[in-house]
Amino acid sequence: MNTSRFLQQITQKEQLAILLDPDKLQVDEIARLIRDIPTQTNFLLIGGSFVSKGKTDIIVKEVKKHTTLPLILFPGDHEQLSNHADAILFLSLLSGENAAFLIGHHLKAAPEIKKAKLSVIPTGYILIDGGNHSSVAQKSRTRPMNPSDIEKIVNTAITAEYLGKQLIYLEAGSGAKTPVKPGIIQEVAKNVELPIIVGGGLRSRIQIQEAYQAGADVVVIGTAFENKNLAL
């Protein structure tokens, strides 16, 4: 499917994405895991900060056997690719100034992505402090943005739009103590035209509803699903 149609499909109002981290999964548990995916789920993200080479493709192939949900790569680096996925979030970590995460991994991955014919979704990825030392911060060696500095967060999102990104991902980090606050989502939504994904630390129905009401088009749940702790 072409990228803009795909993007439209996955960012319709109030979408729910479940994140699977290949690093934490074994092939023989995938069938059961897929059965546990909430019926409201619109698509799956697959990725993590620390995934060994080749594991992503193994897990993607297995997941595809058990579900027809769209499957989108959410890679922590250039090695987390699979030509069996439907699309890839081509993430630029705009909250930090580590060149490897702004263009480095991208350059290494581009020829493989081209061959794989994935839909590529240019995504402005913004890490906001969620109260713990997130794996994204560790892996990228960048500092998250201060949630109190809403102006800078909004300006980063506006910059993402001007850079031609097609999606904004507001990330509090996996297992965040404090998810991205509705006030931040609201200000970003007010100032950019792009669809917004929000993830990190969301675990309750109320938090998810608040994120949607504030302007999130997509909410991502990883840890709460893994821990069977998701209260929808």
Q: Does 221 bind ligand 1GP (CB under 6 A)?
A: yes
Three-state secondary structure call for residue 144? coil
Q: Is 199 in the site for ligand 1GP (CB under 6 A)?
A: yes
DSSP summary character for residue 28: G
Contact 47, 56 (CB under 8 A): yes
Q: How far is the CB of 117 from ligand 1GP (least distance, A)?
A: 25
Give the CA count within 13 Å in the CB-facing half-sphere of 78: 14
* 147 near ligand 1GP (CB under 6 A): no
Q: Which of 147, 182, 201, 215 binds ligand 1GP (CB under 6 A)?
A: 201
Which residue number has the CB closest to ligand 1GP?
199
Residue whose pair of structure tokens reads 């890839």 in the numeric block: 88
Q: Which residue has the tokens 């991502």?
A: 220
Q: How far is the CB of 111 from ligand 1GP (least distance, A)?
A: 26
∠ CA 63-67-70, rounded to 5°: 90
Element (DSSP H or E) covering residue 20: strand 15-20
- Secondary structure (3-state) at 18: strand
Contact between 88 and ligand 1GP by CB under 6 A: the answer reads no
Taking the complex as a whole, the smallest distance from the CB of residue 63 to ligand 1GP amounts, in Å, to 17
Which residue, 1 or 206, is less far from ligand 1GP as judged by CB? 206
Spatial contact of 88 and 26, defined as CB atoms under 8 Å apart: no
Q: State the nearest-atom distance from the C-beta of 114 to ligand 1GP, in Å.
A: 25
CB of 15: closest distance to ligand 1GP in angstroms? 14
Determine if 211 is a binding residue for ligand 1GP (CB under 6 A).
no
CA–CA distances in Å: residue 185 to residues 22, 32, 153: 28, 34, 10
Q: Which of 113, 176, 185, 188 binds ligand 1GP (CB under 6 A)?
A: 176
Contacts to ligand 1GP by CB under 6 A: 19, 171, 174-176, 199-202, 220-224
